[in-house]
C-alpha cells in the first residue's frame, strides 16, 4: 500500500505554492549516494512506491535504500463530467511537496556504479528532473 | 570548467552545473593545495554585499574565539574549495589577520556546489578541539560475497585531539568483515592522544543479512487517515444531545 499519514488534522488542504530552493533535506545523510531534485513539484505516493520497487528490484541484496520524502499533502479532484460548483472535490491521492534541491532517495552499502545505475532506472519514474549526488565533506 | 565532452561542470564535484553558476568556475587554474589562506578584511556586511562578494569569487567568513573580538573576513573561493576537498581543517590565515584558525563550520548552497559562508575559530596548534571526522571504509567485506549487505551506521565520529593532529579521515578496513560481523568504535585506529565520545561497542559498520521484503497487504475500499479531534467532537455532540 502506498504511503500516507496515519492521522491528519484536516481532510483537504489548499494547493499552495512552491517558492525557493530546499534549505533542509538537501544533502545526503543516511547513505552514500542520493537522488536530488532540480525542480519543484508534487510527487505522489504511488510514484514514490514505484521508485522504491524499481530500486529494490535492481539493488536486490546489494545495498540499502532510504526514502527521504513522505506524502503529507492530500490532493483532491472533481470527477469527470461533473458540473462545476458543489464544493471542493474529494481526496484522490497523497503527494509529497518537494522544492528544488530536495533529496528523494539515498542508497548506502552499494558501489557508486550500482547506485548510479539504480538511480538511473528510478529517475525515469520521477515527474521532476533529478540528479545524482554524493555525500559531501564538512 | 568544461569537461572533455564539452559540458559545463562544477570544479569540486565534477557535476554538471546550471548556467548561472558557470561564471564562478571559468576563472582558470586553481592554486596547488596550500594551507595558507590569503584573507581580506570585510567592511561591508549584509545579504546584498555578500552576494556581490561571492560573485567576485570570494566567500564571506568570520573569525572568532579566544575571548577576542570577532573579525569579518573574505577568503578566496577557489583556494578554500580546494582545501575543503582535501579535508584540511586547520588553516593559517595571512593578510588582514595573521594567525592559525580552525574551520568550525562551512555553509553550502542548496546544490552543494559552493561554500556560502565559513566560520573560523582562533586556535593554537597544541590546543585540544572537538571535531567531526569522516569515516571511510576500505577493502571488500567477505560477508558481502556470502550474501550480506553492508550497513554503515556511523559516517562521521566526534574526536577530541590536538589541532595539529586532526586526521583528514579515519579509515576502517573491512577485509575481515564476515556475515553478521561488525566493526565497532573500539576497533578504530585513532591518532595519538585522540579521544572519542561514542560508546566503544557502538557499531561503525555491519554486514547483515538482507531484510526480507514485507508482504504488501491489499486493502479493499478507500482508506482515509484518522481525523485528529473528530472523535472528541462526535462524543461531545452525543453527550450534548
Partner-chain contact A8 B228, CB within 8 Å:
yes
Number of neighbouring beta carbons within 10 Å of residue B203 = 15
Q: Model confidence over B43-53: pLDDT tens digits? A: 999 999 999 99
CA–CA separation, B135 vs B158, rounded Å?
A: 10
Q: Which domains does chain A have, with CATH numbers?
A: 33-80+88-134 (3.90.1170.10)
Question: What is the model's pTM?
Answer: 0.80
Please tell me which of the candidates B13, B217, B226 has its beta carbon nearest to residue A6.
B226
Give residue B132's pLDDT. 87
CA–CA separation, B113 vs B115, rounded Å?
A: 7
Mean pLDDT of successive 10-residue stretches along chain A, which has 138 residues:
89 95 93 94 96 90 89 95 93 96 93 93 94 86
Give residue A43's pLDDT. 97
**Which of B112, B167, B169 would best serve as a mutation to test chain A binding (most A beta carbons within 10 A)?**
B112
Give A3-70 as a DSSP string: ---SEES-S--------S--SSS-S--SSSEEEEESS-EEEEHHHHHHHHHHHHHHHTTS-EEEE---
Mean pLDDT of B11-33: 42
Mean pLDDT of B22-41: 55
Give residue B12's pLDDT. 47
How confident is residue B64, by pLDDT bands cut at 50, 70 and 90?
A: very high
Give residue B140's pLDDT. 86
Is this complex scored with an ipTM above 0.90?
no
What residues of chain A lie within 8 A of the CB of B85, using their CB? 137
Partner-chain contact B110 A100, CB within 8 Å:
yes
Q: Which domains does chain B have, with CATH numbers?
A: 33-124 (2.40.240.10), 130-208 (2.170.120.20)
What residues of chain A lie within 8 A of the CB of B111, using their CB? 26, 36, 101
Q: How many CA atoms lie within 13 A of B57 on its CB side?
A: 11
How confident is residue B216, by pLDDT bands cut at 50, 70 and 90?
A: low
Q: Does A23 touch chain B (CB under 8 A)?
A: yes
Res B201 pLDDT > 80: yes
Grid cell 559552493 in the structure block, residue: B114
B236 phi/psi in degrees, rounded to 5: -60, -45
Partner-chain contact B151 A134, CB within 8 Å:
no
Percent of chain B clearing pLDDT 70 (strictly above): 76
What would the grid cell of residue B88 be?
584540511
Give residue A89's pLDDT. 93
B216 phi/psi in degrees, rounded to 5: -80, 125
CA trace torsion A136, B2, B3, B7 (10° rounding): 90
CA–CA separation, B235 vs B230, rounded Å?
A: 9
Amino acid at each position: 500500500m502506498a504511503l500516507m499519514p496515519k492521522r491528519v488534522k484536516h481532510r483537504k488542504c489548499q494547493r499552495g505554492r512552491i517558492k525557493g530552493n530546499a534549505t533542509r533535506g538537501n544533502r545526503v545523510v543516511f547513505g552514500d549516494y542520493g537522488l536530488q531534485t532540480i525542480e519543484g513539484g508534487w510527487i505522489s505516493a504511488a510514484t514514490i512506491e514505484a521508485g522504491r520497487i524499481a530500486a529494490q528490484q535492481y539493488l536486490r541484496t546489494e545495498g540499502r535504500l532510504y526514502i527521504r520524502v513522505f506524502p503529507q499533502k492530500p490532493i483532491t479532484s472533481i470527477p469527470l463530467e461533473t458540473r462545476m460548483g458543489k464544493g471542493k472535490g474529494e481526496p484522490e491521492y497523497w503527494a509529497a511537496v518537494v522544492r528544488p534541491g530536495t533529496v528523494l532517495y539515498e542508497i548506502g552499502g552499494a558501489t557508486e556504479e550500482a547506485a548510479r545505475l539504480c538511480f538511473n532506472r528510478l529517475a525515469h519514474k520521477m515527474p521532476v528532473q533529478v540528479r545524482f549526488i554524493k555525500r559531501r565533506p564538512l | 570548467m568544461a569537461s572533455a565532452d564539452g559540458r559545463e561542470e562544477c570544479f569540486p564535484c565534477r557535476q554538471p552545473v546550471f548556467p548561472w553558476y558557470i561564471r564562478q568556475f571559468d576563472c582558470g587554474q586553481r592554486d596547488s593545495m596550500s594551507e595558507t589562506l590569503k584573507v581580506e578584511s570585510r567592511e561591508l556586511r549584509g545579504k546584498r554585499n555578500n552576494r556581490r562578494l561571492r560573485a567576485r569569487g570570494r566567500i564571506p567568513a568570520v573569525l572568532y574565539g579566544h575571548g577576542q573580538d570577532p573579525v569579518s573576513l573574505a577568503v578566496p573561493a577557489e583556494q578554500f574549495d580546494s582545501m575543503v576537498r582535501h579535508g584540511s581543517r586547520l588553516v593559517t590565515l595571512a593578510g588582514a589577520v595573521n594567525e592559525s584558525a580552525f574551520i568550525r563550520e562551512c555553509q553550502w548552497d542548496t546544490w552543494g556546489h559552493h561554500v556560502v559562508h565559513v566560520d573560523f575559530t582562533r586556535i593554537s596548534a597544541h590546543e585540544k578541539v572537538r571535531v567531526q571526522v569522516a569515516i571511510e571504509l576500505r577493502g571488500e567485506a567477505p560477508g558481502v560475497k556470502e550474501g550480506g549487505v553492508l550497513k554503515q551506521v556511523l559516517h562521521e565520529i566526534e574526536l577530541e585531539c590536538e589541532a595539529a593532529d586532526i586526521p583528514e579521515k579515519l579509515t576502517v578496513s573491512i577485509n575481515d568483515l564476515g556475515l553478521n560481523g561488525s566493526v565497532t568504535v573500539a576497533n578504530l585506529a585513532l591518532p595519538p592522544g585522540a579521544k572519542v565520545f561514542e560508546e566503544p561497542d557502538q557499531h561503525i559498520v555491519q554486514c547483515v543479512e538482507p531484510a526480507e521484503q514485507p508482504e504488501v497487504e491489499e486493502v479493499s475500499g478507500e482508506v482515509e487517515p484518522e481525523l485528529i479531534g473528530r472523535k472528541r467532537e462526535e462524543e461531545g455532540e452525543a453527550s450534548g444531545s
